[in-house]
Chain A
C-alpha cells in the first residue's frame, strides 16, 4: 500500500487503545509510517509513548485496535513478525554477566539469525554502533552511554525492518547525545525508525516527521516546520554578538520582514538579540550584523521558539 510520501507503508496503526482498568493509556491512536522513515514520537512522560511502542514491539497486547506491519496483522501473527522488529525499551535489556559480543550473539540467535551468520552480524552491528573495541568487555563494566549503545545494537543485530527506540538518549551526556543522534540518523533508509522522546530539540534534529501524543491521543503530526506553521508559533532567531549593539539593532530593524528585535545581555559580556523574523531571513540577518562591524558568535533558532512549540504540542496548551 502506498504511503503518504508515496513509499510503501511499513507501520499502520488504526484506532489503537490500551486501558488499564478504567484508565486509558492510549485512546484511538491512528497513524502510518512509511518504509525508511525516521519518525519521532513526542510527548510528556505518561502521554502513552511507551505503551504504544510496547504494543508495536509485541511486548504488550492492546485492548482494541489494529496494527499492521508491512501489510500483515501484527496482533494475530506476532511471532513471525517479531523477527522483523528491533525493540529498545527505555531501560536497555542487558545481561550484566555477559560480554558485549557474547550478548549480541545471544540476541541474534534468539531472533532467528542462522548460526553461521551470527559472527558477521555481530561484527557489523558493533562496527555500526561503535562497539568493536568493547566486544569482549563485560556489560557490567560499561558506562551508561555505552550501555545505551549496546541497547541499540541488540535492537539492530538481526537486521530488522523496523526499529522501535524508547527514549534512547535518556540520561546521556551532551557528547553521547550527539553521537546517539548521529547513530539514529545513520539508520535512515535502511530501517523504518520510530523513536520516542519528551525532548523536542532532541528528536527534531533527528527525525523526518513528528507524531505528538498527549494524554494517550495523537494531537499532531508533521515536520517541525509544518507544526510551527500550523500552530502559529512565532518564528524567532537568536544572534549572539559583541560590538556595536545599537548599530546592529538598527540595521536589523531596517530589514524588511523583521518584526521586532529584543536585546538580552549575557554574563559573558556578549549580547543575544532575539529577532522575530522568518527562517529564510537568517543569511540576511547574519550579513547585516557583520556589516556593522560586530562579531557574530552564534545564530540559531530561538530556544523559546522550540519551547513554545513543545508546550503547544505536548503540554497543556491548545494544539492543532
Chain B
C-alpha cells in the first residue's frame, strides 16, 4: 500500500475511534437537520427551491466541520511527538500532507453524504433531479475540501489544536469576507476580491444544480495552494 493511502487510512480510523470524530459528525447532522427543518422547508416552496436552500444551509456546517476535523491533523502530531515517526520514515513531506488530508476528506465526505436522507424526504411530496442532487453534493465536498486544505495549513502552523482551529478559521473567514470587500472596493480590486470569495462567488451555482468548470477549478486551486503551503511549512520545520 502506498504511504499516502496508509496515512489516509490511519487518519480515517483515528476519527472513527475517537469521540472527536463522532461528535463532529453528530453535530453536522444535527445542525443540518435543524436548518433543513427550520429554513429550507419553511413556507410553500417548489422542490428545487427547497433543495437549493438545503445545500445553502448545509454549506456552513460543512466549512466549520472541516476546520474542526483539520485542526488535529498536524498540530496533534506535533503535540504528541508522533510527527517524528512520519518525519523519520522514507515518505515525502507532500505524501504525509496528502495522506492526512485525504483521510480527513474521506470522513468529511462520509458525514456530508449521510445528510442525503434530507433531500430524499423532498421526494415524499415533490420531485428533485438527480443532477441537482449530485451537483449540490459535489459543491459541498469541493467547498469542504478547500476548507480542509485551509484548516490543514492552520494545523501545520500551530503548536496546539485550539490555535490550529483559530488559524484555520481565520484563513477561511478571510476568503469568505473577500465577497464583502468586493462590495466596498473599486475595480480592479473589487473583481479580484469577488473572484476569490470562497462561498458567494463559487458555491451558488452548485447549490442551484449547476457545475461550472471555473468553480471546480477554483476550489481545487484553493485546496492545492493550501496543501502546497502546508508541505512547505513541514519542510521548513526540519530546519528548526
Which residues of A are in contact with B by a Cβ distance under 8 Å? Answer: 20, 54, 57-61, 79-83, 85, 87, 89, 91-95, 97-98, 106-107, 109-112, 115, 154
Contacts and interface: CB of A to CB of B under 8 A. Distances in A.
B188 interface: no
Given A79-B92, A87-B84, A98-B13, 8 more contacts: A79-B90, A83-B90, A93-B81, A93-B84, A94-B80, A110-B3, A110-B7, A111-B89
* Interface bracket on B: 20 to 34
B240 to A, nearest CB: 8
B232 interface: no
B233 interface: no
A97 B6 contact: no
Contacts of A115: 1
Interface string B137-160: 000000000000000000000000
Contacts of A91: 81
A61 B239 contact: yes
A110 B84 contact: no
Contact of A61 (B6, B7, B91, B238): B238
Contacts, number: 67
Contacts of B83: 93
B95 to A, nearest CB: 10
A30 B23 CA distance: 52
Interface string B74-97: 000000111111111111100000
A112 B90 CA distance: 7
Nearest to B236: A61
A110 B86 contact: yes
A58 B83 CA distance: 12
A82 B90 contact: yes
Given A59-B87, A109-B1, A97 B82 contact: no
Given A89-B81, A94-B82, A80 B90 contact: yes
12 contacts: A57-B84, A57-B87, A79-B90, A82-B88, A87-B84, A93-B85, A97-B17, A107-B89, A109-B1, A110-B6, A110-B89, A154-B85
B12 to A, nearest CB: 12
A25 to B, nearest CB: 11
B91 A110 contact: yes
B212 interface: no
A66 B49 CA distance: 66
B10 interface: yes
B14 interface: yes
A93 B82 contact: yes
A53 to B, nearest CB: 10
A20 B88 CA distance: 21
Interface string B172-216: 000000000000000000000000000000000000000000000
A81 B88 CA distance: 10
A61 B6 CA distance: 26
Interface string B1-34: 1010011001001100110000000000000000
A93 B80 contact: yes
A107 B85 contact: yes
Contacts of B240: 20
A260 B88 CA distance: 52
Nearest to B93: A79
